[in-house]
Structures are given as structure tokens and as C-alpha cells.
Structure 1
């Protein structure tokens, strides 16, 4: 560990201690989501289960609630529910990462964790250089940087980052989000026999490749994995224009499904689908755990879109991670379901079977509060339904339009109503996870998902239901 590395760690830990009271005094601190101890959190990194322990690293600026020279913060868990904050994994302390240890991934090999990340470097004129770097740990807690393993290849700008690594048929593969010299987004594939030396197999997906025409100026955080015999590529393209109810956020996160010919490095895939319909979701990363589940965690935030308006900034922190979600393919579509371990959060249960909703708002005893899991089963699938959450958000299903809308009061001005939508043929069920300042909505067992940050007043804890038709529902809720 270099002297600069020690100095940066010491400075970060001092900032955590200095701001601890201010951070913890924030009534919007979440009860069961991963958050930074101070400062700004963004992309999930290095998500892996190693020796039975889940490791989740994250992009972290401990010194401000804005983006800067990123560290890798580190959480561990035995159950994906209770998280313990560990010592800093990586600091921007070397020539190849002095302006930030940017996003990356992890793989287990020969009983060790290998981290791959992007080293960000800028000169005095703000010109960018980019390097792909490897670090190794035997215990999952202490990491030794091994230096640069991949330099910027020809044909790309220095916007070349976020390596995701995996093993297939005895060889290692690495995919990187990139911007080609014509300023279009690409996903670039590499292959290695030893994790140290990488062969460039070229761009396998991107703008003007395959069925894509213009499709963004930069692709971030690619993640390619096999699920039910098909290869799914999850990525976050920047520069997609809004299109009706689609692509409403500044940047997108979504996926394509197809088949990867590893031998010839050819990827044939279908159309791009948004992975989350909410306001705050970006840069998701997945891992396979020892049970064989493909689990996803996303950044509960959105880069460069009103980040400085979150009220938590007054308490020296901003952003969080989404809940872990198990991925499944259902009829060619990616479904996301809350991991079953979240049931461990449940406390008191209340149930209201066969309730007929009316046009006036109805509330139900003990279905309220800041931290709640709510499951609604719709018994009359062609009737409109509205749910009001803490006077701050609404979930509205319109069967005529086959449309589900989620709206909220903007945290920018506290007045403007913002909306997001998805198409669904019928509303079978909803599962809602409420936390102090967040809402995660799973529609029809994960067919669609909305991730939403909300900032109600402390007195606004009620939840109400209504219908302009004759909707009949089963309601079950748990305090969390």
C-alpha cells in the first residue's frame, strides 16, 4: 500500500466520522437499502459471491455529493438483506487511476477475487486517458493492484470503460462499454487465457451494428450473461431520444436478448427493452450466486439529471442501490423478482381479502407507514385502479389504454407532477416496497419494474386505494 493510498483512505475515513451525525440525522436515510456512509454513491461494481459471502462494491466520492475522483466502497452480506460496510477496496492513488477508479467487475479464479476496473486519468488540460486495471485479493477484503492489463485500442475515444469479466468454456471474456471514433456507442469483446493478456475480438453490438441504427453516443456498463440458454446483454446507452412513453430519462438502462457465437465473436440479438420504467435506475450489474440465481442490483439514481436537487444533499449524502432482484426469462422477456431473502424483513402482517374498491379513496388499518411491503392481487383485471402513496406518488392502471402510470411530486420544486408509463395487457398483481424515501414497484410478478425516489413530509404516511369501476382485490401488507 503506497503512502498516497494510505493518505486517501485516512482522509475518507475522517470524512465519514466528521459527517456521521449530520448524515444519520437525515430523516430520508433508507431503512433497508445500501447507501453511502457519506458523499455520493453511484454504479454497483464487482458484485460477486465469494466463499459464501456476497460482495458489493460501489463507485464512491466520500468528499462531496457530486462526481469526482471515485473510490471503490465495499459492502458484504451473507443474505443480500443485511449489509456490513467494509474497508475501502480501491483508492485513486496510482498514475493509471489518479482521477478515479471507475466501474468494473469481479471474478473468482484459483480461490482469489480478481477485480477489473477502469482507471481514469486527466491531464492539466482535462484531456482524458483510460486504462483497464486488475486488482487481486485472497481474502475478499484486502486488494493489491496489479496494474494495467488493457490499453485503449485503435478506433475508440477515451470513453472506454466499465469492464465486465466472465469465464466460458475454459477461457475468460471481458466486455467494455465504448465510444468509437465516430462518437457512437459500442460494446467491445476481449478474450484471454490467463486474465492478464487480452485479445481484441471487436465490437459485437452497438450503433450501426446488426439491427441497430443510430443508438446513442456512448454505451456504459455492459453486462453479458447466459440465462436459460440465451445470451442477455444489459447496458446503459447515452444519447437516446425520448419516444412516446419510452426513454423518458436522460439516460437509459436496458437489454437485448440473443445468441453469441463465441468462436467468431458474432452476436445476433433482438430489440432493445428498457429494464426499469422508473425515474431513478442506471448502470445495473448482475452476478450468479452459489444457488445458480442470476441476481441484479442497480444504481438507484440517474447521472446528470437533477442530482443536485435531492434533499439528502443537505445531510451530506446522495443516492442508493436498488433491492437485489432475481432475473428470469419469461416468453422472451426479462422478468425481475425481489429476491426471496427479503421476506426476512417482514414483521407484522395484515390481510384484506376480496376488497371491492370504490371511487372515493379507501384506507385500511395498518397499511401505512414509511417502510412497508404491499402485495395487491387484482381479481377484476379489466377495472381501473388507483393507489396513492403518502400523498406523494400515484400508481394508476387504465385497462382501456392497457397502460400503467406512476407519477410523483418532483423533488426539484415540490410541486410539479412527473410521470412514467408502461404498457401491460392486464394487471394481475403489484408488489410494492416502500422505504423512507423510495418506492420500488414490481408489476405482474416482475414483468415491469419502476424505481422511484420520493421525499414526502414526515406526517405523510397514508396509503389509499380507489377505482372508478368495480375492482376487487386481495391486499396483504407487512411492516418492514
Structure 2
């Protein structure tokens, strides 16, 4: 089946067909950026998981490669699940979770590794350590890094036998012999029933623990999605423990569709991808692209920086390479302004030089952004494709709103607020591929709008 212009994403990473979920194995190797992702090439259900693979020299133009990892051994025969990547001794190492369903129906998981000299063909080396005692089979998503003393560390998401979430930390001198150091964070085990996709970001002033806890109860405008992704700021100790407080957990993305983020460091930059999107099964089955034989996408890559204890996610400067020719439009904000996007692949930048009242922006008659001046809050609305009802996500800003940078596709939108202070990622679906109107009811607010047409970049 062909992807229709109504829904196809042309500058985001999508599966060629089938189902995509978590970004995996992010690495810079042999002068190329490598992005792997969970992929079911046989259908649009969460089965038959292997690792899809794309490469790029600029983080913008992506080339598809052959499947990197697929079930083949006793320890991964029922699925290659998520994990990370590292480069060591001019080889690319991938760490993943092997999923096994025994003949008696019992499910098991194994933390495994594979090695490549060319970044394309991988040799599996099997399980790295025994399953930890006191934990259910839900132990997965290994992420590895090396400290300044030459020690290797591996964290893995876990569920204790009392059905509470946790993350375990392992230590190694040689990448083959691993010793469990216990829980990564000391806590009372009252923070969700499973922690997925753990990651550690290292900055000069502090370290950041990123993870995706499942089962958090909704709290005001927080934790409204089926599963959450967020972070706490703290310090890594020499013993492998992370000193941070779960009560300081902050969501990474305030939109509808962001989950299972993973980062990698290239030179001095920390770059992150996320998955659009985790949703309940009924909503997922109703996504229109299933009729075309594919579903889901990765977010655009974001540079992550830590400022005053807050992670900012900034659109990469490389994303300017997406822009076709010159600026499509530049103009002053009027009381009621209406524009026509150059195509359904567009970038829209709104800069406010004077903001004194509320405003409303409607994009393609599908996504609405409301600003409340007194609350200094943004509310993003869309229509739920399953129920047909309007739904929203809302964030109150720490700083006065100055800029919105919006990346628009035919069925996705990523809104970066104040250079990444807050981000809203979402999918939306309308059948009219020719609907390109943008309406801004700006009142007496003063500012400028710039608009660019963006190109297709995933081969």
C-alpha cells in the first residue's frame, strides 16, 4: 500500500510499512548518525519486533538500511526489544532485550548485546547476565555508558515482584562481565508499576535521569497521557547510585504523543528522539494510517540542554536544512491574520515583541493553540480520531511567552515554546490534504511571523 498525502510524514522517520515504536541504539559511528527503532515489518500490531535502521550524515536526510536485528536465537526468539548503543574500539555495540515465550506459556526476558564492525551487520553475543532475583519478567531496555574512570555502567527498566517500578544499575570493567549494584534510585516504590526506557544525561552542572514510568495517576494538568516520560535532576555517585528525588519528576513533553525517549552524545551535544506515539489499544487500532499498512513515527531530533534545573529541548540547527529555497513568508502580526501554508510540510515561527493579551491560533482547522495572558499558559487542542471529541493539553510557562516554533506535517505537529522551555508533540488526522489555512486571532499583540516550506528527507 502507498502512503497517502493526507497522512504521510515526509521529514520524520516512519516505518516503510508496519509498526514503529521506540527509538533505539542511537549512535554516531563511521561518520554517520545511526537511528534504530522498534519495528514490526509484518503488521501494525505490537508483535514480531525487530530493529529497523536508518542512517544520516546531517540528522536531516535519512537513508533506510536493512533490518539490523531480528529474532533468531533461543534468547530473543519472540522479539528484539528496546535498548541503546555505544561505540568502543571502532565497533558499534547494540544492547537490547530478548523476549521469549516458552512452550508452557511462561514469558522471559534477557539483556543481550550484538557487535558490528561496519554499522550494518551485527553479530549477537547473547545474554549478559542472569535475570535479577525479586523482579518479574518485565526487565528491559538496557542503556550503557562509560564513566571517566573507564568503568561501564548499564541501567535497565524493571518491575519488582510486588508490581512496582524500578531501575537497576550494573557495573562492568570489560562489557562482558556485569555485576548488579541494586536499584539506581533509592525510593519508596510508589511511582508507577513499571519504569521503561531509562537513560542518563550528563551535563557539567548535574546529571539527569530520564525514564518512562507507567501507571502514574493523573494530577491536574500532568500525567494525562496513557504513559509518561520525564526526568529528575541529580548526581551520579561513584557507586552507581543516582542521588535525586522522584518528587521533582518533570514531564519532558506536554503534548499528546511523546514516549520512550532516548539520547546520545555527539561531541558536546546531547541529542534526543522520542516516539510519536504511545496510546491505548482502541485508539491505536483507529489510527487511519493502519488502512495504508503503517503506523507511528519518531519525533524530530532535539538538542537537550540543562538550564537552571530544567531540561530545554531545542530544534537542532541542522533542521534548517529542511527549508526549501528562501523564506516563504514574512510579515507582521495583525489583529486577525490568516495565512496559507506553502504545503503540508512547513515550519512556522511566531515571535512576539509585545504580548499584552490572550490569543488563539488555528492550524489546518485541526490544531488550536490558546494563550492565556494572565496565567501565562498555553493550551493545545485537537480532535480525538476515535471519539470525535475535542481534547487538550495545557502547560503554564515559567517565562513570558516570546516565541513559538512549529513544525507541521500532514498528520503531526511539534510545537517548541521559548526555544524549548516546553514542547508539545502530537498526531492529528484530517482527510483534506489541501487544507493549509492558519488563522491567528492576535488582538493587539505585536510580533512577526515567518514561514518556510520543508522538504521530504526520509528515503
- Offset from partner CA, 1:88-133 (integer Å, 9 cap, x none): 1111111000110100111111110111100011124432111111
Q: Hey, what does 1:421 align to over in structure 2? A: 394
Could you tell me how far 1:266 is from its partner in structure 2?
4.5
Does the C-alpha gap of structure 1 residues 357 and 381 become closer, same or farther in structure 2, counting only changes over 3 Å?
same
| Selected match of 2:259 from 271, 282, 287 | 282
Q: TM-score, normalised by structure 1?
A: 0.90
73-82 vs 375-384, greater mean Cα deviation: 375-384
Once residues 170 and 382 of structure 1 are traced to their aligned partners in structure 2, the CA distance between those partners, rounded to angstroms, is 54
Does the C-alpha gap of structure 1 residues 303 and 190 become closer, same or farther in structure 2, counting only changes over 3 Å?
farther
Question: Tell me, what secondary structure is at the counterpart of 1:277?
Answer: coil
Q: Hey, what does 1:296 align to over in structure 2? A: 272
Contact 1:368/1:462, CA 8 A, preserved across alignment = no
- Offset from partner CA, 1:28-52 (integer Å, 9 cap, x none): 1111000101100000000000121
Could you tell me how far 1:350 is from its partner in structure 2?
3.8
Once residues 213 and 141 of structure 1 are traced to their aligned partners in structure 2, the CA distance between those partners, rounded to angstroms, is 40
Once residues 335 and 217 of structure 2 are traced to their aligned partners in structure 1, the CA distance between those partners, rounded to angstroms, is 39
What CA RMSD, in Å, does the superposition of the two structures yield over aligned residues? 1.5
Contact 1:26/1:315, CA 8 A, preserved across alignment = no
- Say yes or no: does 1:44 pair with 2:20: no
Q: TM-score, normalised by structure 2?
A: 0.95
User: How many pairs does the alignment contain?
Assistant: 448
Contact 1:372/1:434, CA 8 A, preserved across alignment = yes
Q: Hey, what does 1:100 align to over in structure 2? A: 79
Once residues 41 and 240 of structure 2 are traced to their aligned partners in structure 1, the CA distance between those partners, rounded to angstroms, is 43
Once residues 176 and 288 of structure 2 are traced to their aligned partners in structure 1, the CA distance between those partners, rounded to angstroms, is 44
Structure 1: state its 5+ residue gaps.
1-21
Once residues 125 and 299 of structure 1 are traced to their aligned partners in structure 2, the CA distance between those partners, rounded to angstroms, is 33
Could you tell me how far 1:230 is from its partner in structure 2?
1.1
Counterparts in 2 of 1:8-27, with a 5 A limit? Answer: 22-25=1-4, 27=6
Question: Tell me, what secondary structure is at the counterpart of 1:104?
Answer: coil
Once residues 431 and 272 of structure 1 are traced to their aligned partners in structure 2, the CA distance between those partners, rounded to angstroms, is 25
Question: Tell me, what secondary structure is at the counterpart of 1:312?
Answer: helix
Contact 1:102/1:120, CA 8 A, preserved across alignment = yes
Q: Hey, what does 2:171 align to over in structure 1? A: 191
| Selected match of 1:228 from 204, 208, 214 | 204
| Selected match of 1:393 from 367, 373, 379 | 367
Contact 1:23/1:37, CA 8 A, preserved across alignment = no
Q: Hey, what does 2:295 align to over in structure 1? A: 318
Q: Hey, what does 2:334 align to over in structure 1? A: 356
Once residues 400 and 213 of structure 1 are traced to their aligned partners in structure 2, the CA distance between those partners, rounded to angstroms, is 38
Question: Tell me, what secondary structure is at the counterpart of 1:314?
Answer: helix
Structure 2: state its 5+ residue gaps.
455-459
Q: Hey, what does 1:57 align to over in structure 2? A: 36
- Say yes or no: does 1:436 pair with 2:410: yes
Question: Tell me, what secondary structure is at the counterpart of 2:76?
Answer: coil
Q: Hey, what does 2:450 align to over in structure 1? A: 476
